[in-house]
C-alpha cells in the first residue's frame, strides 16, 4: 500500500462518518495521550516500588530511626513519602490522634495525585459510545430520508451503503471506549494497591510506636 495515500484514505474514511467520527478520532488521540502520560506519571510516583518503604518500616520497628530515615532519603515514591510523613509526625511529639490525622492528610494528597487524570479517562469511556450512537442515529435518519425522497426508484445497494457508513461511528466509539475503560480499571487497581500498602505501612509504624511507649511506661 502506498504510504502517501494513507492520509487521504484516512480522511475519506472519517468523512464517511460525519462530524461524530471526527470527534471520536480526537478522543482516540486524547485517550492514547492520557494512557501514556498516566503510565509515565505512575512510574515517576513509584506506584510499583515499595521495597525501600518496607525496609524503612522494618528498621523503625527495630528502633533504628536513623537507618529508616537514610533508606528513604531523596525517595519520591508514594509509599516512601507517606512513611516519611508518618515518621515525622511521630517524632514531632504529636499526640497519637493528631499524628494519625496528619498522616491521613498526607495519604489523601498522595492518592489524589495518583488518581489525577482518571476522571478524564472515565469521561471518555462514557461519552465515546454515546457519540458513536449519535452518529449512527443521524446517519440512519439521513439514509431513510434519501429512501423516502427516491420513492420506488430507491437503490437497495445505495441504502445499504448509507447504513454501513452510519454504523461506522458506533464501531469507532466502542473502539475508543473499550481501551479507555480497560486502562481506567488498571490505573484504579494500581491506586487501590498503593492505598492498601500505605495504610499497612502507616499502621505498622504507629503500632511500633505504641509498643515502645508501653514498654517505656512499664514498671521495672
Q: Which run of H or of E encompasses 91? A: helix 78-91
For residue 206, CA distances in Å to 50, 79, 127 come to: 18, 15, 45
pLDDT of residue 21: 84
Residue 219 lies in a domain: no
Residue 7 lies in a domain: no
For the chain, the first-to-last Cα distance in angstroms comes to 87
Of all residues in the chain, the percent with pLDDT exceeding 70 is 79
Residues 6+ apart with CB under 8 A from 204: 57, 61
Instruction: Determine contact, residues 73/57, Cβ cutoff 8 Å.
Output: no
Whole-model pTM?
0.79
Quote the number of domains for the chain: 1
Could you report the per-residue pLDDT of 203-218, keeping only the tens digit for each?
A: 999 988 877 653 433 3
Residue 10 lies in a domain: no
Residue 13 lies in a domain: no
Q: Which of 23, 19, 83 has the alpha carbon at shortest distance from 50?
A: 83
User: Span 196-200, mean pLDDT?
Assistant: 93
Residue 195 lies in a domain: yes
Residue 15 lies in a domain: no
Residue 25 lies in a domain: yes
Could you report the per-residue pLDDT of 107-160, keeping only the tens digit for each?
A: 999 999 999 999 999 999 999 999 988 888 887 777 777 766 666 665 665 566
Could you report the per-residue pLDDT of 151-165, keeping only the tens digit for each?
A: 666 566 556 656 767
Rounded-to-integer distance, Cα 207 and Cα 60, Å? 11
Residue 8 lies in a domain: no
Q: Which of 205, 184, 198 has the alpha carbon at shortest distance from 35?
A: 184
pLDDT of residue 220: 28
Q: Indicate the pLDDT class of residue 193, thresholds 50, 70 and 90.
A: very high
Is the model's pLDDT at 71 over the cut of 50? Answer: yes
- Contacts of range 144-148, beta carbons closer than 8 Å, 24 or more positions apart: none
Rounded-to-integer distance, Cα 21 and Cα 15, Å? 8
Q: Note down the domain range covering 198.
A: 21-40+49-210
Q: Which of 204, 180, 184 has the alpha carbon at shortest distance from 192?
A: 184
Amino acid at each position: 500500500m502506498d504510504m502517501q495515500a494513507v492520509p487521504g484514505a484516512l480522511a475519506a474514511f472519517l468523512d464517511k462518518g460525519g462530524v461524530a467520527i471526527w470527534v471520536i478520532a480526537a478522543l482516540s488521540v486524547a485517550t492514547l495521550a492520557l494512557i501514556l502520560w498516566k503510565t509515565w506519571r505512575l512510574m515517576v510516583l513509584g506506584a510499583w516500588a515499595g521495597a525501600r518503604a518496607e525496609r524503612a518500616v522494618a528498621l523503625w520497628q527495630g528502633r533504628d530511626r536513623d537507618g529508616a530515615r537514610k533508606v528513604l532519603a531523596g525517595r519520591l515514591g508514594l509509599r516512601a513519602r507517606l512513611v516519611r510523613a508518618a515518621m515525622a509526625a511521630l517524632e514531632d511529639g504529636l499526640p497519637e490522634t493528631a499524628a494519625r490525622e496528619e498522616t491521613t492528610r498526607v495519604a489523601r494528597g498522595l492518592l489524589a495525585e495518583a488518581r489525577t487524570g482518571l476522571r478524564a479517562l472515565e469521561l471518555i469511556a462514557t461519552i465515546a459510545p454515546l457519540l458513536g450512537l449519535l452518529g449512527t442515529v443521524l446517519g440512519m435518519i439521513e439514509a431513510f430520508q434519501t429512501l423516502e425522497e427516491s420513492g420506488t426508484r430507491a437503490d437497495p445497494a445505495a441504502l445499504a451503503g448509507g447504513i454501513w457508513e452510519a454504523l461506522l461511528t458506533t464501531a469507532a466509539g466502542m473502539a475508543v471506549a473499550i481501551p479507555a475503560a480497560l486502562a481506567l480499571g488498571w490505573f484504579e487497581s494500581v491506586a487501590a494497591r498503593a492505598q492498601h500498602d500505605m495504610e499497612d505501612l502507616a499502621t505498622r509504624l504507629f503500632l511500633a510506636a505504641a509498643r515502645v511507649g508501653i514498654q517505656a511506661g512499664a514498671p521495672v
